[in-house]
């Protein structure tokens, strides 16, 4: 059972890792678009509403799709002052509860945001500004997509925490580090 949970966690890690790396490239695109906008504004005294809105469309996947990637690589803020002093089994139980709570949160956000995205798609929502970008639903779709990746990462964390709790006391399950593929 422990090995199966660990292999599930590793498989989910591969998905999150790939999506996170792909989404991180939108950061590079965002820098190029912003630099182009600044250049156009100050050097040529012109600008484009569509190019300014493209910044939003690039910021959305960068932030929402990279949440799970950041958590996978432990780049998030974590307060360990009290946690580090607790016995290992209590830490494992807290990790399991935390991971399961994020699973629940991610499911709720996906369920609540999906109608929002679909409504935008059905009405063909675009920018309210002349010269803006069409397809506002693409921007809004990053919400359930980002939380779906967070759900996968949280399921991986849940599997790891459960495997740790199912292992005999004093022998943590053999784990591949989260950032190793």
pLDDT score recorded for residue 83: 80
Domain tally for the chain?
1
29 token code pair? 């695109």
pLDDT in tens for each of the 181 residues of the chain? 778 888 888 888 888 888 888 888 889 999 999 999 999 999 998 988 999 899 988 988 888 888 888 888 876 666 678 888 888 888 889 889 999 999 999 999 999 999 999 999 999 999 888 888 898 899 899 999 999 999 999 999 898 889 888 887 655 555 544 443 3
**What residues make up the domain containing 95?**
2-166
Report if residue 58 sits inside a domain. yes
Report if residue 177 sits inside a domain. no
How far, in Å, are 95, 163, 169 from residue 86 at the CA level?
A: 12, 19, 15
pLDDT score recorded for residue 112: 97
pLDDT score recorded for residue 179: 42
pTM of the model: 0.81
Report if residue 51 sits inside a domain. yes
Report if residue 176 sits inside a domain. no
Q: In residues, how long is the chain?
A: 181
pLDDT score recorded for residue 170: 59
Report if residue 60 sits inside a domain. yes
Report if residue 178 sits inside a domain. no
- 3-state SS string for 41-68: HHHHCCCCHHHHHHHHHHHHHHHHCCHH
Report if residue 128 sits inside a domain. yes
DSSP-derived 3-state class of residue 173: coil
Report if residue 181 sits inside a domain. no
How far, in Å, are 31, 78, 85, 86 from residue 81 at the CA level?
A: 37, 9, 7, 10
């Amino acid at each position: 059972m422990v090995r199966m949970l660990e292999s599930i966690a590793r498989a989910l890690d591969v998905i999150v890792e790939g999506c996170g790396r792909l989404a991180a490239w939108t950061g590079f695109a965002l820098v190029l678009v912003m630099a182009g906008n600044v250049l156009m504004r100050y050097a040529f005294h012109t600008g484009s509403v569509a190019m300014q809105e493209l910044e939003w469309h690039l910021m959305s996947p960068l932030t929402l799709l990279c949440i799970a990637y950041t958590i996978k690589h432990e780049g998030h803020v974590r307060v360990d002052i009290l946690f580090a002093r607790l016995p290992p089994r209590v830490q494992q139980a807290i990790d399991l509860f935390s991971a399961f709570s994020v699973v629940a949160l991610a499911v709720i956000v996906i369920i609540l945001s999906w109608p929002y995205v679909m409504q935008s798609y059905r009405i063909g929502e675009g920018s309210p500004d002349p010269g803006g970008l069409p397809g506002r639903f693409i921007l809004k779709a990053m919400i359930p997509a980002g939380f779906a990746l967070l759900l996968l990462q949280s399921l991986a964390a849940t599997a790891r925490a459960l495997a740790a709790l199912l292992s005999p006391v004093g022998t943590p399950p053999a784990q591949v580090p989260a950032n190793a593929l």
